[in-house]
Amino acid sequence: MYLSNHKLLFCFFGLSLILLSSCGDESNSNKKQNTTTQTEQTKPALVSPNFIQDSAYLFVQDQVNFGPRFTNSDGHTKCGNWLVSKFTAYADKVYEQKADVKNFDGKILHIRNIIASFNPDAKKRVIVAAHWDSRPYADQDADKSKHTEPILAADDAGSGVAVMLEMARVMSVKKPEIGIDLICFDAEDLGKPQYEDSYCLGSQYWSKNPHVKNYKADYGILLDMVGGRDAKFVWESFSVKYAESTVRKVWDQAVQLGYSNYFYYYQGNGITDDHYYVNKIAGIPMIDIIHYSEQTNSSFPPHWHTLGDNMNVIDRNTLKAVGQSLLEVVYKEK
């Protein structure tokens, strides 16, 4: 993924952080703290099964154990086989969507989208998605001599897939009432910003060729870098443009569960990520939950596209906040 074209930084409305639940006065910070404390004390009983953060953490580790997993690599093949076997053990039906696509440099990529479906005959459907490939070069690493080395991608791929695997595990025990499709998009992270549409090749392909003819979903939720320590998730602008009601639904649910220290009601800028093409091509409203950082010029966390994206940056609490919030959203759908 990358920040869209001329919009290189996340921006805020005005110079302040916008909270939907309060007005701007001198006591905003106190109100926010009091609201958070009250929410944590009165958060409702779960409708959904319990999301086990230790299990999700191990699913990240399992992926990292395959090493770099960029498309066409040996690690990619082995991890893909493992993902299919895990999802097959949990889901009602698993689809493998294989195709050859051309990269920006003319190289043919053998992509593999993996889709795990629950209640495949249900008409009401929700997508949860993440890319599962890793970037083949650490081009944002502080050490320029490392820029051609592939990364382990614990967060930038591994975390989103791990959340979906844990969701699949718990849904195999207690199914939601609606149809759920967990989609692992391939070839998201092989692009270069100067080449238009060179990222997100797997989601572009799926959006033009869905795994089921005439496929429809009510909405989708994309996960990208959702396992980092002290992660912040803000309202990405394409998400707001195409699926604001889903943004509000997910953020409101997360805050009700006591996760307001992760989910912030701030307006961010646009990111060209898998959800962009699902919205534009498939016409399915999809949002992006993605780590935002105030500490970097990229607005992504410091480990983004570096060799530092390893298990050291993964936090079980972040995985829990994201995974439990999504389960609660899904299980409240009728």
Task: Read off the pLDDT of residues 141-181 as tens digits, 9 standing for 90 and up.
Answer: 999 999 999 999 999 999 999 999 999 999 999 999 999 99
- pLDDT tens track for 132-142: 999 999 999 99
Q: What average pLDDT does this structure show over 274-289? A: 98
pLDDT score of 31 more than 50? no
**Domain limits for position 261:** 2-331
Rounded to the nearest 5°, which phi and psi values hold at 170?
-75, -30
Q: Which residue type, as a one-letter code, is found at position 238?
A: F
Average pLDDT, the chain: 90
Task: Tell me the three state secondary structure of residue 25.
Answer: coil
pLDDT(33) > 60: no
Least confident of 1-10, 80-89, 300-309, 321-330: 1-10
What is the DSSP code string of 164-224?
HHHHHHHHHHS--SSEEEEEEE-S-S---TTSTT-S-HHHHHHHHS-SSTT---SEEEEEE
Instruction: Report the candidate in 282, 202, 199, 287 with the shortest Cα–Cα distance to residue 238.
Output: 287
Per-residue pLDDT band for 42 (boundaries 50, 70, 90) equals low
pLDDT at 94 exceeding the cut of 80: yes
pLDDT tier at 105 (50, 70, 90 boundaries)? Answer: very high
Terminal Cα-to-Cα distance of the chain (whole angstroms): 33
111 has pLDDT over 80: yes
* Calpha distance 291→230 (Å, rounded): 9
User: What are the tens digits of pLDDT across the range 54-79?
Assistant: 999 999 999 999 999 999 999 999 99
Q: How confident is the model at residue 91 (pLDDT cuts 50, 70, 90)?
A: very high
For the cut 70, the answer to whether the pLDDT of residue 20 exceeds it is no
Q: What is the pLDDT of residues 208-220, one digit of tens each?
A: 999 999 999 999 9
Total-model pTM: 0.89
In this structure, the strands spanning 179-185 and 286-292 are unpaired
Cα gap 181→81, rounded to integer Å? 19
Asked if pLDDT for residue 250 goes beyond 70, the answer is yes
Rounded alpha-carbon distances, angstroms, from residue 140 to 17, 173, 306: 28, 41, 5
Quote the number of domains for the chain. 1
Q: The domain spanning residue 205 has which CATH number?
A: 3.40.630.10
pLDDT band at 237 (very low <50, low <70, confident <90, very high): very high
Which of the four pLDDT bands, split at 50, 70 and 90, describes residue 254? very high
Least confident of 52-56, 281-285, 295-299: 295-299
Q: Which residues pair with residue 114 across a beta bridge?
A: 96, 184
Confidence of residue 277 (pLDDT cuts 50, 70, 90): very high
User: What is the percentage of the chain residues whose pLDDT exceeds 70?
Assistant: 88
Tokens of 321: 């906040």
Q: What's the confidence (pLDDT) of residue 43?
A: 62
